[in-house]
Structure 1
Amino acid sequence: MQLKNGAKIAVIGGGPAGSFFAHFALTYARQLGIEVSVTIFEKKDFARKGAPGCNMSAGVLSEALLRKLPEHNIHLPPSCIQQEIEGYFLQVPEYGIPLHYPHKTRIVTVFRGSGPRFADRDVSESFDYFLLEHAKEMGAQVILDPVTNIQIPKNPKDSIKLTYGKEASKTEYTADLVVGAFGVNSDTLYELQKLGFGYIPPKTVQTCIMDIYPTRAVNNALYGNNIYVFSLGLKFIRFASFIPKGDFLTICLVGTKEMNKTLLNEFLNQPKIQEMLPKGWDDVKKRCICFPKIPVNHARHPYTNRFVIIGDAGISRTYKNGIDSAFTTAQLAAKTAFEKGVTEKDFEKGYFNPAKILLGRDNVYGSVILTANDIISGEKHLVSSHIKYMFEHPDTWETKRMNEVLWNSVTGNAPYKDIFFKSVHPRLLINLFLVTARSLLRKNE
């Protein structure tokens, strides 16, 4: 079952996954010499500030993604970039140490909408708005209305019917292929379970993102061009980071359980965090807080005839690089649709099985690393002794290996599998054991 000349493709969701799919679909169609129409349905306006325009993300674009975009003729304009990041700084209870990479990397921070709700000016172009405009320039049509109903026919030869629009002005749209790019924070994925093709959404955990307004001068004085990552031994925190974005600072928290305002305040009231926060951070008029969900595993059966789900509502890398995963899954699904077909079997073989190899299998190693991290980070003395060793012995093989493991862990710059095997190198483990033993002996003297 192939897409033919005049085929209509509907993309539900205009975030990165949807825009990337439109880009690849239109690219493959031109290469094959066929004309298709791509229509993206998106209920948010990414040119607006605050919740109406925000896709609720930390907003860090990885080195790998920034390398891939121009290779596919997607050129990120300077107007999208809030700040160029030069490095990461790891802060533990007693010590802090900069993390670096052997070669100069390029990491940037962006806003997914047009900035926090309290911004008194436009913060330049949002990343999601740029990608959606790029898709439009490629030939996609964008409809700023929600899809309210999906009807998948019993006969796979028949088209899928969508209903979109507000209550008073609902319209039907018929598509030869429908792409779900709506993300795990949408109610749409739960509606899809009722359609009976076997889709089960990923499990999720609720995170927290808070934007404050220190000003660029204060950010530069406190953090420079570094993202600060915290490992303070808090049982309820898995990741915590301060991400500078020009005049703004994004505080991102991922917990071992659902984040809420109580846990957010508990984190912010930690003595070390109080030392690191800028003055006036608690001005409620200059705070923007949300609690988005992120997936902790992948969906089951995110495809059927003429319908495929991509991005984090389908499969993504656990806890890291959601936009990179959106790029990968969009490319796989689009390539499958144009080179193989749009049947359930086509999407299983061409999209989901390769995605599970690339992302799903790697997430198994990620789970092991994250569990180990939860255990180790809870032992404050253990963490501090290792960081102290790195600080005092910067040129040893062990420090360089630890730096590489930590860098790749916080940036997502390498697959979890690579991080795992580098972290369990016998020489490194023996050294860490000796460092820990000596530290414990000194503590007990």
Structure 2
Amino acid sequence: MLRRVSYILLSAAPQLIRFKKKLRLSYNFLNPFVKPSEKLRLADGSVVLIIGGGPAGSFFAINLLRKAKSSGIKIEVIIVEKKKVMNIQELNLNECQIGECNYCAGGLSAKVCEALKKLGLILPAKVIMDKVFIINIFADWKTISLDVLKEMNSVYRGSRPKGRTDSIYNFDSFLSESSVKEGAKIITSEVTGLEYSDDGRVVVSFRGNNKTIKSDFVAFAGGVNGFLGNRFYTGEKPLSYLQEMIPGFKPPRVRRTLIFELDTGENDKLMYKISGELYFILHGSHTLKLEMISIIPKGKYITVVLIGPAIDSSTNKDNLRIINEFMNLPHIKKLLPRRAEIKNLCVCSPNIVTGTAKNPYGDRIAVVGDMFTANLYKDGIGSAYEISAMLAEVAITRGIDKRSLRKGYRSVIRKYNINNTLGKLVFLFIRIFFRNSFFSRIIYQAVITERKTKTRENRRLEKILWNTASGEDIYKNIILSMYHPLAIWAIFSGGLLVTLRNYMTELIFGLRWGNFSRNTTGVGKEVFEINSKVIKEEFSGNLGEGSLDFERMYSIRMNAPGEKIFRELGKFGDKDRKYFKPRFIDVTRISGEANQPGCIIRYNIFPRQLSFSLRLLKSIPGEHLSYEIMNGFGRGGILFFKIEAFKKGTMVINDENLLSIYVGFNFPKNLFKYLFPAYIHDVLWNFSLCQLKEVVEN
């Protein structure tokens, strides 16, 4: 009888275990004769071992040591890093150098920069490869440029690319040094095994020797490329010991990327051209299918990241072919011209996280960093900081047993699962609307309309683009912002309707977009108001008193010396000029010499009642031209051309200028306002400035 009962219980054990997992019941519930395990906590003398010396590991060490100190607990923190690490004390240096490549784009978002300041970590100037002042979002129709009003930087996380003279200055080394200053120790080795000891602590084994360390808590911060094996280094094997320690652990889903480094060499012009700007390009070509391209300047170097179906289906043998095809794409050749003799320094194909790990914790062990999860396609370092800070808080305040860790991780898992699911919807929307010429024109026009009519803090669409490109906000909030009724109305009224109106205007005036670039010419409301006030004060005698019936301002960046732009503006009244030649409007110089005060330019417009003349009042070579409106269509007014050096922050770029045009006048009769409405000026000058840019730059 006893044997039969035992047999039945043994036979039913698998079903009971499955039932337990399904209901997520504890083992102690199914075994009432066993006492529940005590809550495990860190105490004085506890040893915490961190596997991986990247951002997640260093951030966790710093946060944990500070939390422990504030709680009155003295603990020992050891970071194990398999890449080359120089210990500060041993070498008597001020740096910890982590060598090799760390498979990262190297962008520090505004959130990361704020987090560093919060931790009191001042990033050394030598670690910062470039400061970001502008984010450019390339769409099929036009590029939308966003000013960066918060601190953002680009860095190298490791010592690559090969040949860098300042390779010891990198972000991971800086964080390692900071963790050592906080009290952590660093061991250069590779972990080969984990197991529980008789007293329940974790025994850690290392490669190449018989040394072991008994730890009270282990944080795995090795990253997906160390764990899953980087595809560029196919010899690496998964670290199976992690799954042995945490039954049921499944790493997050990943996606293949292609990252390569370019060297601009002695081409200072190209280096300064892209310096201070991040580029997000949302399409490749019909043969090279890409969903996202990131171009990150880093001094004389450029980091390029490619994501898309063409990369998903490729192998390492395809890397050079893909890079060559990418560099020959028309929109890339304009940004990174092949004649610049750019050299490709190194290539890697790391994994990028697209999901969340399952069951990333156990008794005395937890996974942190991108082996747990990360924001979809954006701000992986920011995710590492957030998750590391959370784990440090849980380990000190809740405990290090599985149940305590589960409670701490629960909200984070839910947050990232929801956030990354919604992130896929955000990028689906972007792919649909930004890769199509008509749809991307609607979005561009909606953003520019909003920019011209609202102050910066009230621009909904610009905030959506900023949060998406910079990683400033979670995807949940971005989705809610996208589908807000006011955002939809802005796209409909300021985007769709204005685009249709402008398109019809282009047809009427015979404007055909050719092979020349389409560039942004819209000016923000705050910029317009500042410049308008200055110009009206300077030319008050020509504009009269009170408000003007008509005011407009346009600006465009040009990669050309101011003198060259000035000379081309002198052809404004010439018959053979290659810009501003719309149907029904004939612009001719009827007296005087080009760019000489006193010369008169006649606008002959159909119907002729709209015709008028301009007289050049003032001319400063390479700087500005100011015309007064003499008679006809305008009654007292100014057409003002201004050439000024283009600035990125406080940095002035040689031979890169900003051409601005201001038009302001009064109508002699209100009827004229309706015969030639303001939007016609917008269409004509937008088209003509893009033509002028092409002429000047080529």
The answer to whether the superposition gives a TM-score over 0.5 is: yes
1:254-403 equivalent positions in 2, closer than 5 A: 254-256=307-309, 258=312, 260=314, 261=319, 262-279=321-338, 286-350=344-408, 352-391=409-448, 394-397=451-454, 400-403=459-462
RMSD: 2.8
| Displacement of 1:248 | 0.9
What is the SS of the residue equivalent to 1:406?
A: helix
Q: 1:436 to 1:387 in 2, by over 3 A?
A: same
CA contact (8 A) 2:327 2:338 kept: no
Which segment drifts farther, 315-324 or 263-272?
Answer: 263-272
Specify which structure has the bigger relative contact order, considering alpha-carbon pairs within 8 angstroms and separated by 6 or more residues: 1
Q: 1:342 to 1:392 in 2, by over 3 A?
A: closer
Task: Give the alignment partner of residue 277 of structure 2, picking from 226, 236, 252.
Answer: 226
User: What number of residue pairs does the alignment pair up?
Assistant: 435
Task: Give the alignment partner of residue 421 of structure 1, picking from 469, 480, 485.
Answer: 480
Amino acid at match of 1:244: P
| Displacement of 1:99 | 1.3
Q: Which runs of 5+ in 2 are unaligned?
A: 1-39, 87-94, 229-237, 508-698
Alignment correspondent of 2:234 = none
2:73 is equivalent to residue 21 of structure 1 = no
Q: 1:258 to 1:411 in 2, by over 3 A?
A: same
Alignment correspondent of 2:306 = 253
Q: 1:361 to 1:390 in 2, by over 3 A?
A: closer
Whole-angstrom distance in 1 between the partners of 2:414 and 2:283: 34
CA contact (8 A) 1:118 1:288 kept: no
CA contact (8 A) 2:246 2:361 kept: no
Whole-angstrom distance in 2 between the partners of 1:51 and 1:267: 31
CA contact (8 A) 2:83 2:188 kept: yes
Q: What percent identity do the matched residue pairs reach?
A: 27
Q: Which runs of 5+ in 1 are unaligned?
A: none
CA deviation digits over 1:216-265, x for unaligned, max 9? 83344422411111123657322212111111111122224527424444
TM-score by length of 2: 0.58
2:114 is equivalent to residue 61 of structure 1 = no
| Displacement of 1:207 | 0.9
CA contact (8 A) 1:214 1:278 kept: no
Q: 1:46 to 1:240 in 2, by over 3 A?
A: farther
What is the SS of the residue equivalent to 2:48?
A: strand
Alignment correspondent of 1:74 = 121
Q: 1:299 to 1:40 in 2, by over 3 A?
A: same
CA contact (8 A) 2:98 2:159 kept: no
Larger C-alpha radius of gyration, 1 or 2? Answer: 2
| Displacement of 1:300 | 0.3
Task: Give the alignment partner of residue 125 of structure 1, picking from 163, 166, 169.
Answer: 169
Whole-angstrom distance in 2 between the partners of 1:280 and 1:57: 28
Amino acid at match of 2:478: I
TM-score by length of 1: 0.89
Task: Give the alignment partner of residue 151 of structure 2, picking from 106, 128, 137.
Answer: 106
| Displacement of 1:15 | 0.2
Alignment correspondent of 1:210 = 260
CA deviation digits over 1:408-443, x for unaligned, max 9? 111011111221111112233244346447757959
Q: 1:232 to 1:318 in 2, by over 3 A?
A: closer
| Displacement of 1:388 | 4.5
Which segment drifts farther, 241-250 or 420-429?
Answer: 420-429
Whole-angstrom distance in 1 between the partners of 2:471 and 2:246: 35
Amino acid at match of 1:251: V
Q: 1:133 to 1:221 in 2, by over 3 A?
A: closer
Which segment drifts farther, 203-212 or 122-131?
Answer: 122-131
| Displacement of 1:53 | 2.2
What is the SS of the residue equivalent to 2:194?
A: strand
Whole-angstrom distance in 1 between the partners of 2:378 and 2:71: 34
Task: Give the alignment partner of residue 297 of structure 2, picking from 244, 263, 267.
Answer: 244
Which segment drifts farther, 396-405 or 263-272?
Answer: 396-405
CA contact (8 A) 1:190 1:201 kept: no
Amino acid at match of 2:428: T
CA contact (8 A) 1:46 1:128 kept: no
What is the SS of the residue equivalent to 1:328?
A: helix
Which segment drifts farther, 334-343 or 353-362?
Answer: 353-362
Which segment drifts farther, 328-337 or 272-281?
Answer: 272-281
